[in-house]
Amino acid sequence: MMSTLRLRGREFGPGEHAVMAVVNRTPDSFFDKGRTYGFDAAIEAVDRAVEGGADIVDIGGVKAGPGDEVDAREEIRRVADLVEAVRERHPRLLVSVDTWRAEVGEVVARAGADLLNDTWGGVDPGLAGVAARHGIGLVCAHAGRVRPRTRPHRIAYDDVVADVVSYTTALAERAVAAGVPRESILIDPAHDFGKNTFHSLEVSRRLGEMTATGWPVLVAVSNKDFVGETLGGLPVERRHAGTIATLAISALLGARVFRVHDAASATTALAELARLS
């Protein structure tokens, strides 16, 4: 049975969707190539996301893939002031921060973040404690038990979906035990994190096994490599249609929150899907 997701007083009941817009304060993002690295550019991107219908904005200060080293101090410099500014500029907007570090989580929680998006699957167990202390939400993801920002060679699973379900739900229950509000926890299969294209496609086909757990499911498939590879090796700038198709399938299988680069397109697609359902 699907539960209600609650984040800073906002509720998303069963069958309701939330669009999470990506804003990266990184100079080397795989998608925007640093276009929103500057503070003013990042604020403008948040404004566009809100105009496009975003319910949540997910602010990141470290590129997900391999690249230049970014320590906690630099990550904080990139994201904390932006969180504070967005909180003041858009009081109704939910603010998420994409980080695996408890040290960063503590600072952004004080700055006004409503959600900590731990895309690397609990490598810092202190992050759940941060969410608990501040009464904010937490995303529990499956990244194949790999180190952050790495791409493992020839990773394998007996059953990738079974591994994803067992790992994310265990993380979620651990977060509850640490004091994170149960209604503020999401689980995320983390497509392409610790997975090859075949794994990501299998997770997409069997996403219903995750949503059947009752935990709200977040999907982050926007312009990812598995989309491009599945469509014949398309580059990042030509993966939009594949992204929207995967979002629609994910919604039909019960996903609740959709992390995207184009909030307006995702909002339109999900609204049309709701009308047809």
Average pLDDT over residues 146-165: 94
The H helix count followed by the E strand count for the chain is 10, 10
Within a domain: 9: no
Structural domain boundaries enclosing 66: 15-276
CA neighbours within 13 Å on the CB side: how many for 33? 2
Q: Is 80 exceeded by the pLDDT of residue 1?
A: no
Exposed (0-12), middle (13-18) or buried (19+): which is 9, by Cβ within 10 Å? exposed
Tell me what pLDDT residue 5 has.
98
Within a domain: 206: yes
Average pLDDT over residues 85-93: 97
Within a domain: 1: no
Instruction: Give the number of domains in the chain.
Output: 1
Above pLDDT 90, what percent of the chain?
94
Within a domain: 4: no
Within a domain: 181: yes
DSSP β-bridge partners for residue 12:
5
- The tens digit of pLDDT for each residue in 14-45 reads 999 999 999 999 999 989 889 999 999 999 99
- The tens digit of pLDDT for each residue in 256-273 reads 999 999 999 999 999 999
Within a domain: 195: yes
Tell me what pLDDT residue 248 has.
97
Q: How many CB atoms lie within 10 A of CB 99?
A: 29
Q: How confident is the model at residue 104 (pLDDT cuts 50, 70, 90)?
A: very high
CATH number at residue 249: 3.20.20.20
Tell me what pLDDT residue 33 has.
86
Within a domain: 10: no
Tell me what pLDDT residue 152 has.
84
Among 272, 276, 234, 242, residue whose Cα is nearest residue 260: 242
Average pLDDT over residues 104-119: 98
Q: How far apart are CA 156 and CA 162, in angstroms?
A: 13
Within a domain: 175: yes
